[in-house]
Amino acid sequence: MVANIKSRILSVGTYVPDTVLTNEHFESYLETTDEWIASRTGIRERRVVGKENPMSAADMGCRAARVALERAGIAAADIDGIIVATFTPDNIFPSTACMMQHDLGCTGAFAFDISAACAGFTYALTVANNMIVSGQAKTMLVVGTEITSKTLDWNDRGTCILFGDGAGVVVLQADESGRRDRGILSCHLSADGSMGNLLMLPLWGEERFLKMKGNEVFKHAVRMMADASVKAAEMAGFKIEDIDFLVPHQANIRIVQSVAEQLAVPLDKVVINVEKYGNTSSASIPLALEEAWLDGRVKEGSKLLFVGVGGGFTIGSAVCVI
Ligand SMILES: CC(C)(COP(=O)(O)OP(=O)(O)OC[C@H]1O[C@@H](n2cnc3c(N)ncnc32)[C@H](O)[C@@H]1OP(=O)(O)O)[C@@H](O)C(=O)NCCC(=O)NCCS
């Protein structure tokens, strides 16, 4: 055990496929409208891996990882571990993380996937942080990569309009400065398997589509994300109002707005980009983080609160000072 080490996010990188599906696309064959989708979900368009440009979750994760590594100035050979959160792995095994380890040339890294659906990024970040603070690794890639488009029933208007494909990666490294006021200050995970049937993706059988009881998921997601946010803030020694930016899982604008309202966080302190990408599951928090980092909202010293909820149910939150 290495005493007093904290882990820091050095950089973030993302990748989204080129193919854009706008809400108008769904109007062309489903009983739905751009107005309905935008007003109920905040989503205007999403990216999908098209047939013309086939990619795996590992391919997308590698593209995002190369950007993150370059921004951090870290060589692939210096990565000690790769954790991939995904509900769309290419195989049961080899894991997406092992495929990425090979493609990236992270020859010295251990690699594994975790399954926590849309809370995947917060789960992976928590595990990676714990491995770093316990001295098992110094520099890690935390990856969320999803091809949600291959899990959807494109005739189910209640689900197919919500999701998109994408990948996001952060480079997490031990901060050897001994500073206690920056890096990952807290992580909080929980789960509630009793409601697993509200949001599920069967692996076998005829109906291998993502299925959801939308309005029930909505209700629980808001409560779970608000509670988890308060827990992570408290564990970090902060009040919610001390946080500079809430960077939530981008499930749906109404979920995000309701969470912000419950927490009394003004919307200008919430990073939202669901209108461009839809729900990209484990990739959504790094996609939002990158946007706020690149446009200058997030900078050194920013206090961020990540929070996500996903099928399972899984719930995760973390406070990070950049
Ligand atoms: C899916 C969601 C947008 C549906 O909105 P809602 O206001 O709850 O709508 P409901 O499910 O109650 O359905 C209301 C009506 O809209 C219809 N509807 C559903 N999708 C529609 C669409 N894309 N276009 C038009 N009508 C639609 C329903 O069939 C229903 O019609 P009915 O009254 O004739 O039966 C909303 O429940 C939601 O965002 N849930 C959370 C989903 C989520 O984020 N999951 C991932 C969490 S990680």
Provide the domain limits for residue 200.
183-321
Phi-psi region of 239 (alpha: psi -120 to 50; beta: other; left: phi over 0): beta
In sequence order, the 6+-apart residues with CB closer than 8 A to the CB of 309 are 118, 119, 220, 221, 224, 225, 228, 249, 251, 315, 316
Distance (Å) of CA 26 to CA 35, 158, 254: 12, 11, 20
Distance (Å) of CA 172 to CA 127, 279, 319: 11, 24, 14
Q: Verify whether residue 197 is a known catalytic residue.
A: no
Q: Verify whether residue 249 is a known catalytic residue.
A: yes
Q: What is the pTM of this model?
A: 0.97
Structure tokens at 33: 């409208």
CATH of the domain at 54: 3.40.47.10
Whole-number Å distance between alpha carbons of 210 and 146: 13
Domain match, 141 and 252 both: no
Whole-number Å distance between alpha carbons of 97 and 112: 5
Whole-number Å distance between alpha carbons of 218 and 224: 10
Q: Which of residues 123, 144, 175 is at a domain's end?
A: 175
Domains: count for the chain: 2
Per-residue pLDDT tens listing for the chain (322 residues): 455 799 999 999 999 999 999 999 999 999 999 999 999 999 999 999 988 888 999 999 999 999 999 999 999 999 999 999 999 999 999 999 999 999 999 999 999 999 999 999 999 999 999 999 999 999 999 999 999 999 999 999 999 999 999 999 999 999 989 888 999 999 999 999 999 999 999 998 778 899 999 999 999 999 999 999 999 999 999 999 999 999 999 999 999 999 999 999 999 999 999 999 999 999 999 999 999 999 999 999 999 999 999 999 999 999 999 9
Q: Which residues line ligand 1 (CB under 6 A)?
A: 32, 36-37, 40-41, 118, 157-158, 161-162, 212, 214-215, 217-218, 221, 251-252, 255, 279, 309-310
Cα of 159 vs centre of ligand 1, distance in Å, is 8
Catalytic residue among 98, 129, 279, 320: 279
Q: Which of 265, 303, 261, 309 is nearest to 285 (CA)?
A: 309
Residue 159 lies inside a defined structural domain of this protein: yes
Token pair 């891996």: residue: 49
Q: Which of residues 146, 175, 204 is at a domain's end?
A: 175
Cα of 43 vs centre of ligand 1, distance in Å, is 13
Structure tokens at 29: 């064959």
Q: Which of 39, 41, 50 is nearest to 17 (CA)?
A: 50
Domain match, 112 and 188 both: no
Catalytic residue among 118, 160, 187, 320: 118
Round the CA-based radius of gyration of the chain to a whole number and report it. 18
Domain match, 305 and 266 both: yes
Structure tokens at 136: 């098992």
Domain match, 17 and 165 both: yes
Q: Which of residues 148, 175, 202 is at a domain's end?
A: 175
Cα of 203 vs centre of ligand 1, distance in Å, is 24
